Structure 1
Amino acid sequence: MDIKGWQSWIRPAGLGVLIVLAMLIGGIIATRSSAHGPASTATAAAAASSGSSTGRTLPVASNSAIGNLPDLVDRVKPSVVAINTVVTGRNGQRQGEGLGTGIVLDKSGNILTNYHVIDGAGQVSVEFTDGSMLPGKVVGSDPGNDLAVVQVTGAPASLLVPAKFADSDGVRVGESVFAIGNPFSLEFTVTSGIVSGLNRQSEGGITGRPVRGVIQTDAAVNPGNSGGPLFDADGNVIGVNTSIENPTGQRVFVGIGFAISSNTAQRFLPDMIAGKPITHPQLGVAGVTLNTVNAKEAGVDAQKGVYVTAVNAGSAAERAGLKPAAAASSAGVLPPGGDVITAIDGKPMTTIEQLAKTVDGYKVGDSVKLSVIRAGKAMDVTAALREWTGQ
């Protein structure tokens, strides 16, 4: 898992050490072992069904400290599982093994995890806290959000303890959190910390699509924690642990972990459980947030909005007629000639991050009205959002 790029964690068979395959910055936190070099990451899907506790939204805990952590752990630990995978090649030959974490969603046996935990897995098995193991099947996935749902069948009702999900929009920086997972194969390890930041962006996972609204935490997460829960001080899930960042390039936790927000995780759960394909919309522009300095450089009247620096060929933005800036001028100076997007469907847009997150909230095929300033004149254009393809 990773905020600026992703990488597998590999443990060669028969060796007790971890070898890191580094790709850009950050690291996916699923453990992968291989006897033949880097193993593929695995694929999964996320979902919720009737009878699932994920169908209702609970208030986020406001506690500033977790004084009853041992009791909380005892209560929520049965909702956490270990997910073991076997990666096989095209000829069916065993190529490696992986370990991640999952969250029990409902009494139907649906379990949420990261897509990269089960991507490429020929076999999936789920281990519960009592040590029992059951085969799992990937029933749906949302690779663009690095989420997947694995289902087990035949599990006793006592093993399936659904986790409760909180409304992640109510999470505050500084509140206490804890994580349960399987770092370095140390099963059901508990770590704690605080929410260090909100609305981070996780980029460059398996699909390369940025995941927005990510929660930053200093609760220790490491390879094997992927797909596991980040709990609030009331024992409700506020995020799915997915990546770490280490500017030194080493693939170990140094105080910065990231979790996909619970609201993002729950958005497509019903469709994932049903096995439906998940798509995400794309406008197809690159841009920068305007301010008083760069607006003057670009020669535009607006001082707030998103200045369009590039438009993807064939994108919704190109079809709507959005105009990008001219070829780059001197280093560090915005070239002139680009449109300024000031609103979507009447909602003001002041940053590129806000624009991207707003587009994410629509569906593929939705038409949106873009308020634009072009050469000093205000106008509206309509864009029909197209499917995100990685372009």
Structure 2
Amino acid sequence: ALTNFHVAKPCGSAMKCGMADGKVYDAVIVGIDPTGDVALIKLLGRDDFPAAELGDSDRVRVGDNCFAMGNPFMLATDFQPTVTYGIVSGVNRYQPPAGTLLEYTDCIQTDASINPGNSGGPLFDAEGRLIGINGRGSFEKRGRVNVGVAYAISINQIKNFLGHLHSGRIVDHATLGAVVAFDDQGRVIISDVLEESDAYRRGLRYGDELISFAGRPISTPNAFKNVLGTLPKGWRVPLSFRRDGKRYDVFVRLQGVHGKEELIEKSMGGPRAIPDLPPQPKDGEKKPAGKPKQPSPDTASAAAAERIVADAAGAARAGRNASPTLAEEPAPGDASPNEQPPKSENPPPKSEPPKIIPIDPARMMPQAPMPEAVKKVFEEKHGFANYYFNKLHRGRVWQGWSKAFPAVELQGPWKLGGKVEGGNEFVFTLTDTDAVLKLPTIESQWIAGEKLTASLNPPHSGGLLLALHLWRRLNIVGPEKYGDVYYLGTSPLPNRQGLFDVLVATYREVETHFYFDPQSGLLAAMEMYADEHDDPCEIYFDEYDTVGARKVPRLLTVVYGNDKFAAFRISEATFEKAAP
């Protein structure tokens, strides 16, 4: 089930969910997207929960009818949701983040009544298809009353992240590594670009005109920001730009908005600035006599902070989101980003800055013991929302591939022979200790030394022989013995249809991404990063054929940077067992 990150966070890893059948079910967190304010949870106790049909939010138009569902003001004590009706007031809206979290990009604006308690609920079109997840609204300054402006995260954005959310990870959003702006002619141009970005390596430069990005035309800087916010870190997407009247079409790898540890820290929350509490009389002491004093700004703030802590704790126990909240960033929905509180004619005197007091999470959000049903599907690991689901999908992907290419016993030499496109014959020989490419006039070798990336032969390939060595290693030992292997989620490949399951495998500090076709289970491509700041060696596996008990690719296409290195057409393939 889908909900908002700011709704799920106070509940922790386990929560209770009331359904329209009047029953309360255990649920467990699966994956979280703090930047996009989305969380994926799994309901337990049934295997036949009803599910909504996912719509296409790109087809939504202003004026379309829509319905919002939720539990505003905790009215639905019987778990029958409140349904409100409205129209789509706007599409492709942008609502800025609080810091770098809870950013609403390319979202749907509606006048359907959405109030506190609606967060995480669905927005349906007139046909009952899910087109968004409600999460943000504009309210009157002095009351939490909807003024007819609310926002839902588009379902198409969520579709981009679903594979990553299923991975059990804390997922990040993308950045291009470049900034855009209008020029004096009204064109959208690159106003800055990082030299270490993939966009720069693909040829993007200052002053280039941005034409399209990720398949959508770009006519304003806001349009670019909207598209970028719907994409996960690491995706490769098409980008078109114009320079001196000439158009260039490239694919760019997107960087992450956050560093890994930065994202973990922000998603979990950090220390808050809470003023010291006023001194309390010790046992046996009398309270000062006389008229009670009005609380000073400091003590009033302290009392408010204590109430917030209590509210958040109570909300966590009740399985709902608190408002206000002590999350790292404020939950959306309370006020328009541009609203300011009314100024007082007599501002309070300035006081000393509050001290930073780390909050004990147990004090802020006391958690009930995790139910046994949840324990079975939850595993804690640093950097993951729920590592159980990562292992589940890693196993699923590997099981599909190992059925097509069983190789556990094939620990002897592997040989692949045939012709390079262009006519020359070739032979690859792969063993535990080296990899060799023989051509009619030259032989290239890679040897497994102390540093795997000491040589990246053949030249200009990005390390083809090392990549094939790692391909062989993963096939023989599997993900559990290879090194560190985790399921990334789903990602696209250039000029290929659909999304592919991705395993990220690290062996002796060399990271490799393996892409598997979710339908056939076959390995479609791999990217080996000899240097995280350089282009990877890309190998595409095509034209699979059955050789004995295995599916073997008949075509290997190697790409490095902007150039195709070579295409190897395989006519002979032998995989030997280890010598006795």
Shared fold (TM-score, shorter chain, > 0.5) = yes
> Are positions 1:154 and 2:42 aligned together?
no
Residue 253, structure 1, aligned to residue 143, structure 2: no
Q: Residues 127-165 of structure 1: CA distance to partner in whole angstroms, max 9, x if unpaired?
A: 1123321221101122232111111222374xx221222
Q: In the alignment, residue 239 of structure 1 is paired with which amino acid? A: G
Cα separation, partners in 2 of 1:150 and 1:372, compared to 1, 3 Å: same
CA contact (8 A) 1:215 1:261 kept: yes
Pair 153,361 (structure 1): closer, same or farther in 2 beyond 3 Å: closer
Alpha carbons of 1:212 and 1:377: their partners in 2 closer, same or farther (altered >3 Å)? same
Would you say the 8 A contact 2:2–2:38 is kept in 1?
yes
Using the TM superposition, give the Cα deviation of residue 269 of structure 1 relative to its aligned residue in structure 2, in angstroms. 2.5
1:364 equivalent in alignment to 2:255: no
Identity of aligned residues (%): 36
- 1:186 aligns to 2:55 (yes or no): no
- 1:49-70 superposed Cα distances (whole Å, 9 cap, x missing partner): xxxxxxxxxxxxxxxxxxxxxx
Write the letter of the residue equivalent to 1:203.
P
User: CA offsets per residue over residues 201-241 of structure 1, 9 Å max, x none?
Assistant: 23205743643221110001111111101122222222110
What are the residue-to-residue correspondences of 1:198-209 with 2, within 5 Å? 198-204=91-97, 207-208=100-101
Structure 1 residue 255: deviation in Å? 0.6
| Counterparts of 1:189 and 1:252, CA distance in 2 | 16
Task: State the SS of the aligned residue for 1:371.
Answer: strand
Give the alignment partner of residue 89 of structure 2, picking from 191, 196, 212.
Answer: 196
Alpha-carbon shift at residue 190 of structure 1 (Å): 1.8
Which residue type is aligned with residue 220 of structure 1?
S
Distance of aligned partners of 1:361 and 1:115 in 2 relative to their CA distance in 1, 3 Å threshold: closer
Query: Which residue number in structure 1 is paired with residue 19 of structure 2?
Result: 128
- Is 1:241 aligned with 2:134? yes
Q: Which runs of 5+ in 2 are unaligned?
A: 263-580
CA distance 1:180–1:379, shift in 2 (3 Å): closer
**Are 2:140 and 2:147, in contact at CA under 8 Å, matched by a contact in 1?**
no
Corresponding residue SS for 1:245? strand
Residue 308 of structure 1 aligns with an amino acid whose one-letter code is: I
Larger gyration radius, structure 1 or structure 2:
2
| 5+ long unaligned stretches in structure 1 | 1-110, 296-302, 325-337
Distance in 1, matches of 2:60 and 2:215, equals 27
* SS of match in other structure, 2:128: coil
Of 47, 54, 63, 1:174 maps to 63
Q: In structure 1, how many angstroms separate the alpha carbons of the residues matched to 2:46 and 2:92? A: 37
Given residue 171 of structure 1, which amino acid in structure 2 is its aligned partner? V
Contact preservation (8 Å) 2:175, 2:233: no
Number of the residue aligned with 2:224: 355
The separation in 2 between residues aligned to 1:206 and 1:119, in whole angstroms, is: 17
Out of 296, 301, 307, the residue aligned to residue 189 of structure 2 is: 307
Secondary structure class of the residue paired with 1:256: strand
Matched residues in 2 for 1:368 and 1:130: separation? 46
CA RMSD of aligned residues (A): 3.3
Q: Is the 8 A contact 2:34 2:101 kept in 1?
A: no
Matched to 1:253, the amino acid is N
Which one scores higher on RCO, CA 8 angstroms, separation ≥ 6? 1
Is the helix fraction higher in 1 or 2? 2
TM-score under structure 2 length normalisation: 0.39
Contact 1:279–1:364 (CA<8 Å) still a contact in 2? no
Whichever residue aligns with residue 192 of structure 1, its letter is Y
* 1:30-49 equivalences in 2 (<5 Å): none
